Amino acid sequence: MRLSGREVDCVRGGREVFSNLNFEVVSGEAVAVVGPNGSGKTSLLRLIAGLLVPARGSITLEGGEAELTLAEQAHYLGHRDALKPALSVSENLSFWRDFLGGAASDPAESLATVELDHAAHLPAAYLSAGQRRRLSIARLLTVYRPVWLLDEPTNALDTAGQKLFASLIGDHLARGGLIMAATHTPLGITARTLRVGDVS
C-alpha cells in the first residue's frame, strides 16, 4: 500500500499555507510531519482525511480496497477527542464502531488494551484529558483501518500512556498499516521526517 501526494497546495482563508508539497509513505512505515506552529501540519492531515480539498495537486492511495475512498480507509485522530460527554466510555466506543463500520473488534477488548476497561461504565465527561486520549486511541483499535493520521497523538498522555501508544503504533505497522503523524515530540518509534515549512 502506498499513500502519496504530488505537488499539493493548501490554501486556508485565502492564505497559502504550503505549496508544491510531495510525500510518500508505504505499508509498514511511519512519517513524522514536523514544522513550526501554523506551518500546515494539521491542514496536511485534514487534506489526506478528505476534510479539506487541495488547492492544487493530488493525494492518492494505491493498494488499498479499490471500492473504498482514501477517507474510508483512514482514521483521523485530531487535536480534540471526538467524544460524546453524556455517553459512557463503552457507549462512545460502540457508537464509533457502528458509525464507521467495516472490520471491527470487541470494544471491551480495545478498552482493556488501552487500560481503560475499569472506566467502561463512566460517562466520558468524567474522564481526565489523558483518559479521553486513551479512549480515542481505543477507537483506532476497534475498527480496523490501514491508514492512521495522527495529530499530536501523545498530547495529555503520561509516560506510561506514551509507551503503550508506541507499542500500539508498532503493532499497526507490523500488520502492514501506515502512519502519518503531526508531532512536536518523539513518537517512540522509528519514523521518517516530512518537514512542512512556513510560507511567507
Report the Cα–Cα distance between both ends of the chain, in Å, rounded.
34
Check residue 110 and give its pLDDT. Answer: 94
Classify residue 57 as left (phi > 0), alpha (psi -120 to 50) or beta.
Answer: left
Q: Which residues are within 8 A (CB) of 90 and not within 5 positions of it... i.e. 6 or more apart? A: 107, 108, 111, 120, 121
Q: Which of 141, 140, 77 is nearest to 109 (CA)?
A: 141
Cα Rg of the chain (Å, integer): 17
| pLDDT at position 25 | 96
C-alpha torsion angle, residues 179, 197, 129, 90 (rounded to 10): -30
Q: Higher-confidence residue: 184 or 143?
A: 143
Query: At the fourth CATH level, which superfamily is domain 2-195?
Result: P-loop containing nucleotide triphosphate hydrolases (3.40.50.300)
Confidence of residue 197 (pLDDT cuts 50, 70, 90): low
* pLDDT tens digits for range 91-131: 999 999 998 887 778 899 999 999 999 999 999 999 999 99
| DSSP for residue 178 | E
The C-alpha atoms of residue 71 and residue 153 are separated, in whole angstroms, by 19
Residue 199 scores a pLDDT above 70: no
Q: Is the pLDDT of residue 193 over 90?
A: no
Higher pLDDT, 15 or 185: 15
pLDDT band at 190 (very low <50, low <70, confident <90, very high): confident
Domain ranges of the chain: 2-195
DSSP H stretches of helix in the chain = 41-48, 89-100, 107-113, 129-142, 159-174
> How do residues 11-58 score in pLDDT, each as one tens digit?
988 889 999 999 999 999 999 998 888 888 999 999 999 999 999 999
Tell me: pLDDT of 198 over 60.
no
**38 and 91 in contact (C-beta within 8 Å)?**
no
Strand partners, 182: 33, 151
